[in-house]
């Protein structure tokens, strides 16, 4: 599938930057929803897929262009999968420093074994007149006892991936994180689809 222009259905600058960086080799013009003055779509779904579909399909209808939407979050086993689809809203006023403090507070009474977690990402790709395509990515890991690093965004300074060397995503470089992250894995599936 050949596309020249794509709208990222998000106002989250961290997500937009990661997606732009990963799509750069394809020479696709990547626009953010704000570039076209498109609104935020209310995330009323109860799953990552439902929310990604709502955003991609809603903005694609509004602008008439292919739209890629991401819904992702941190799922902590000891918290029954929370914050999950509510990860951004879990952080008061989307202040992730406060969100990380709250998360550490909730986990303070648990042992190390209860810190298992994963990041999940679902991408929805909506093209006017076509069926929406879904791409999923996941990375397993654990929640650190304290923040490490200032890179990435969201809960990255607390998340230590199983496949790494003991560092948090907040200590990873951009390419290093994109190679194993939940969003990187979902985007790789999306790129494979575009290249076929």
Question: Within 10 A of 185 (CB to CB), how many other CB atoms are there?
Answer: 20
Question: Within 10 A of 103 (CB to CB), how many other CB atoms are there?
Answer: 23
Quick: pLDDT tens for 45-99. 999 999 999 999 999 999 999 999 999 999 999 999 999 999 988 988 889 999 9
Helix (H) or strand (E) run with residue 160 in it: strand 159-161
User: What predicted TM-score, i.e. pTM, was given to this entire model?
Assistant: 0.90
Fold of domain 5-195? Maf protein (3.90.950)
The string of DSSP letters for 71-133 reads EEEEEEGGGTT-BGGGHHHHSGGG-HHHHHHHHHHHHTTS-GGGGEEEEEEEEEEE-TTS--E
What are the strands of the beta sheet with 29-32, ordered from one edge?
Answer: 29-32, 5-8, 67-76, 116-126, 133-143, 159-161
Q: β-strands 133-143, 159-161: how paired?
A: antiparallel
Helices vs strands, H then E, count in the chain: 6, 6
pLDDT value at position 1? 66
Q: Which residues contact 141 (CB under 8 A, 6 or more apart)?
A: 116, 117, 118, 119, 159, 160, 161, 162, 164
Partnered with residue 71 across adjacent β-strands are 122
For the chain, which residues score pLDDT lower than 70? 1, 111-113
Q: CA 150, CA 85: separation in Å to the nearest integer?
A: 23
Residues identified as active-site: 71
């Amino acid at each position: 599938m050949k596309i020249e222009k794509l709208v990222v259905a998000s106002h989250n600058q961290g997500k937009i930057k990661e997606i732009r960086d990963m799509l750069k080799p394809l020479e696709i013009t990547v626009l953010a929803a704000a570039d076209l003055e498109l609104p935020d779509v209310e995330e009323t779904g109860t799953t990552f897929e439902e929310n990604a579909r709502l955003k991609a399909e809603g903005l694609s209808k509004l602008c008439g262009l292919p739209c890629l939407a991401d819904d992702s979050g941190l799922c902590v086993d000891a918290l029954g999968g929370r914050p999950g689809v509510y990860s951004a809203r879990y952080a008061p006023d989307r202040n992730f420093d406060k969100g990380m403090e709250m998360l550490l507070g909730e986990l303070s009474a648990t042992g190390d074994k209860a810190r298992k977690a994963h990041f999940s990402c679902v991408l929805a790709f909506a093209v006017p007149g076509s069926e929406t395509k879904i791409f999923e990515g996941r990375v397993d890991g654990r929640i650190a006892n304290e923040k490490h690093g200032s890179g990435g965004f969201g809960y990255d300074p607390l998340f230590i991936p199983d496949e790494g060397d003991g560092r948090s995503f907040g200590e990873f470089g951009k390419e290093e994180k994109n190679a194993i992250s939940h969003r990187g894995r979902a985007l790789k599936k999306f790129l494979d689809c575009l290249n076929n």
